[in-house]
Amino acid sequence: MTLPTTDALKGIYQTSMIIRRTDERLLSMLAAGQARMTYYSPRGQEVISATVGALLSDDDYVVTIYRGLHDHISAGTPLGPLVAEFLGKASGTCSGKGGPMHVTYPEAGMMVTTGIVGSGLPIANGLALAAQMRGEDRVTVCNFGDGASNIGAFHEALTLASLWKLPIVFLCQNNLYSEHTAYELHSPVDSVASRGAAYAMRSVTVNGNDPDEMWAAADEAIRHAREGGGPTLLEAMTFRLRGHTYGDGGSYIPKNQMADAVEADPVPGLRARLLREGLSEADIVDLESEVDRVVNDALQFAIDSEEPDISELRTDVYSSEVFA
């Protein structure tokens, strides 16, 4: 079992803060009526993807869902074009035609973002199968939420992945709410990881908000996949600190549960950890100032960018151009 070094923890904190600040800016733009996209905040889940991102190589593949900003950033998608895509601008990763639900940036391995719960898993199998057939050592990390574990595609994908020993990590970010429904009201089993037994799949549950636990489990799962050992169902426990989507105030979340989760917010928790590891307050403030600069630049780039031209409607539809 390996644990993150202080340098690795610093990197995880930096990525987590880029996610946090970008999320804050997007929520503020939505509240001010300056942005009009459907937005699913990843607040509270940053440490999971920041840790996984630190462990993946440039060649590895990532699949995620509409609550994907943290996964997009951690996979290495450049922040300016990423935010531009969220805002529907021509300079976005998909020329503004994908939006938050369909971010794709293959250059960083950010292969697919899906808008349908559970639909990413069979696609991730395809990516992993391609790598396996070509003899490449790339690993596919497929992110999804607890709600997806009740979808048929989850069970179909796990069956084939286990049977074919695909190089994949099924990363369930269990934030305890499937849209507006609490975990215990939608799932008959105590943990998502326990489902893996039905498919003879290596399965682990960890506290995803703890960078040590997350690092150790993700490192082992990625290594296992890369070395031909097959898939892992890795369940990372976390909590969604915002409603399902922007505009959902989360009135169905018990107040004490939310208060406890805010108290245990993993991002300030990691900051305190860095201080205990010996970083000075000044070191951390420097890092945070750099994060602010990066996020401000990206937001400004996106805000200043043009909307896509109407002719864009005919591009990226088929492999050949569509003529008017």
Footprint on this chain of another protein (rule: CB under 8 A): 27-34, 36, 38, 245-249
Q: In angstroms, what is the minimal distance from the CB of 28 to another protein?
A: 4
> ∠ at Cα 59 (128, 2), nearest 5°?
90
Nearby residues of 292 by Cβ (< 8 Å), 6 or more positions away: 21
Q: What is each CA distance from 155 to 121, 149, 233, 273, 280, in whole angstroms? A: 9, 8, 12, 38, 47
Cα separation of 279 and 221, whole Å? 30
Residue 226 contacts residue 220 (beta carbons within 8 Å): no
- CB 244 to another protein: min, Å: 11
Q: Looking at beta carbons only, is 99 or 196 nearer to another protein? A: 99
Nearer residue to another protein within complex by CB, 27 or 151: 27
Separation CA 104–CA 62 (nearest Å) = 10
The token pair that represents 234 in the structure block = 């890795």
| Selection from 234, 203, 197, 200 nearest residue 218 by Cα | 234
* Least distance between another protein and beta carbon 247 (Å): 3
Cβ 27 to another protein shortest distance, Å:
7
Give me the least distance between CB of 42 and another protein, in Å please. 17
Q: Decide whether 36 or 314 has the Cβ nearer to another protein.
A: 36
| Closest CB to another protein among residues 30, 90 | 30
Name the residue nearer to another protein (CB basis): 27 or 90.
Answer: 27
- Least Cβ distance, residue 251 to another protein (angstroms): 9
Of 190 and 307, nearer to another protein (C-beta) is 307
**What is the 8-class DSSP label of residue 194?**
G
| CA distances (Å), origin 85, targets 3, 211, 213 | 35, 29, 33
Smaller CB distance to another protein: residue 28 or 280? 28
Q: Give least dist CB 293 to another protein, A.
A: 19
Q: Which tokens in the block code for residue 313? A: 């409607």
Residue 33 or residue 135: which is nearer to another protein going by CB? 33
HSE-CB of 133 using CA atoms within 13 angstroms: 6
Which of 32/324 has CB closer to another protein? Answer: 32
Residue 168's contacts (CB-CB under 8 Å, 6 or more residues apart) are 124, 125, 128, 139, 140, 141, 142, 161, 225, 231
Closest CA to 235 of 196, 200, 206: 206
Residue 58 CA to residue 110 CA, distance in Å, equals 10
